[in-house]
Amino acid sequence: MTLTPPPAADGTTRVLWRWTSRTPDVPARARIALICALDQFGCGGEVLDDAVLAASELVANALEHAPGPYEMRLRCTAAELICEVEDRDPRIPVVPAFPAAAPFEPDPEKRGGGVDALLKVLGERGRGLHIVHQLTFGAWGFTVRRREGVKVAWMAIPRA
């Protein structure tokens, strides 16, 4: 068995995968491509898990909210790996804010909402970028190349 050394930390960008809106199983295939690439860089454990989950959110957002074709890339520097997801919508999305917590009301009769209010706050939609923010410790964002009509969502993965 021959072990290949990890790619150099020279800032070179590698395309991991390209897809269109008609490609089946996009999130799963994107996760596999990223897992394989991060494995070559020696990433594992929680760093790998967090990176794959965060990148999966960026891929799902691009697929749901922007036209394709799409591309996922990985750039390696000495300090971090930058995962990029490119789509063909040059608009930066608005990140929804979580509702502020209501002050505690000690009297149960005066409390509002109950289960319905909790379900509204914990709804399944609109939390993807918040998940990315938490998993990357805020090291993510968007860049736009208006001339080309593309947006790139990016996130940084610390190197061990």
DSSP 95-155: PPPPPPPPPP-S-TTT---HHHHHHHHT-SSS-HHHHHHHHTTT-EEEEEETTTTEEEEEE
> Which band of pLDDT confidence, cut at 50, 70 and 90, is reported for residue 151?
very high
Q: What is the pLDDT of residue 142?
A: 94
**How much is the mean pLDDT over the chain?**
80
Looking at residue 119, its pLDDT comes to: 47
What was the pLDDT predicted at 5?
A: 47
Instruction: With a cut of 80, say whether residue 40 has pLDDT above it.
Output: yes
Of 55, 115, 114, nearest in space to 85 by CA = 55
CA atoms lying within 13 Å on the CB side of residue 73: 16
Length of the chain: 160
Question: How do beta strands 80-87 and 70-76 pair?
Answer: antiparallel
Burial code (b: 16+ CB inside 10 Å, e: under 16) for 95-129 equals eeeeeeeeeeeeeeeeeeeeeeeeeeeeeeeeebb
Say if residues 132 and 66 touch (Cβ distance below 8 Å).
no
For residue 118, being part of any structural domain is answered with no
pLDDT at residue 120, rounded to an integer: 52
**What angle, rounded to 10 degrees, do the helices at 45-65 and 128-135 form?**
150
User: Do the domain assignments include residue 104?
Assistant: no
Residue 150 lies in a domain: yes
- For residues 28-48, give the mean pLDDT: 89
Does residue 112 lie within any of the structural domains?
no
| Predicted local distance difference test score (pLDDT) of residue 116 | 53
Is residue 122's pLDDT more than 70?
no
Structural domain for 132, as ranges? 13-94+127-158
Between 129 and 108, residue with greater pLDDT = 129
The count of domains in the chain is: 1
In-domain check, residue 131 = yes
**CATH code for the domain of 29:** 3.30.565.10
Q: For residue range 81-121, what is the model confidence (pLDDT) as tens digits?
A: 899 999 999 998 877 665 454 454 555 555 455 455 444 54
**48 in any annotated domain:** yes
Q: What is the pLDDT of residue 152?
A: 96
Distances in whole angstroms, Cα of residue 3 to Cα of each of 6, 42, 73, 84, 160:
9, 12, 23, 27, 20
